[in-house]
Amino acid sequence: DAKTTQPNSMESNEEEPVHLPCNHSTISGTDYIHWYRQLPSQGPEYVIHGLTSNVNNRMASLAIAEDRKSSTLILHRATLRDAAVYYCILRDIEGAGSYQLTFGKGTKLSVIP
Amino acid sequence: DAMVIQNPRYQVTQFGKPVTLSCSQTLNHNVMYWYQQKSSQAPKLLFHYYDKDFNNEADTPDNFQSRRPNTSFCFLDIRSPGLGDAAMYLCATSSNRGGQPQHFGDGTRLSIL
């Protein structure tokens, strides 16, 4: 799987937007960009995914650079419940390993009340 | 609510004593996965079932085995647990092996005495 690079940690104030960056300079044309998060003492939770166009859902927005070498997960209004480790993962859905979620180190997001 | 359920949440066993962790799902998904997550590390895939077809990751130790008696249940067997097997074990499901999101349980934390 292509590699992703994320900051180790970030902080945000409650009720402010949060932009979590992810670099994936070696992304291939068939790699989807997936985001998961893991709250303390819980299993990972799917957040959002996309290929080329920006995506929105009830949890977050995903902004994908035009060259696809980077992306940003946007939480529009951080709450204390959003404090978690956020993982940016590339999945080649056409490859033999398409079933795989290869987790990197992720970004630990702290939300300050 | 449909979900992935892991029991128990905490399991303690003795060094070398076989232990079985269980996972059930009400999502009727074809694919079930087992991940190992050691303290302060990212989850790491051990193996997965696509229906009844078992797929082992190349670096999964022989000490770890799995059974899937039906669509809803999957078990992780550790034949002779060592101190290095202390970890959180996460079960996940997905509707297929492609790009569909994986749904995780909250894990079983295994301690070895």
Q: From the centroid of its chain, how far is CA A106?
A: 8
The residue-averaged pLDDT of B10-17 equals 96
pLDDT tens for residues B87-104?
A: 999 999 998 777 789 999
Give the other-Cβ count within 10 Å of A26's Cβ: 12
Q: Is A13 on the interface with B (CB under 8 A)?
A: no
Ramachandran assignment for B46, one of left (phi > 0), alpha (psi -120 to 50 degrees), beta (any other)? alpha
Q: Is A32 on the interface with B (CB under 8 A)?
A: yes
The gap between the terminal CA atoms of chain A, to the nearest Å, is: 37
pLDDT tens for residues B48-71?
A: 999 999 999 999 999 999 999 999
Q: What letter would DSSP give residue A81?
A: G
pLDDT category, A101, cuts 50, 70, 90?
Answer: confident
| β-strand pairing of A18-23 with A45-50 | unpaired
Residue B88 token pair: 């959180």
* Chain A residues lying within 8 Å of B98, measured CB to CB: 93, 98-99
* Chain A residues lying within 8 Å of B104, measured CB to CB: 43-45
C-alpha–C-alpha distance, residues A100 and A75, integer Å: 25
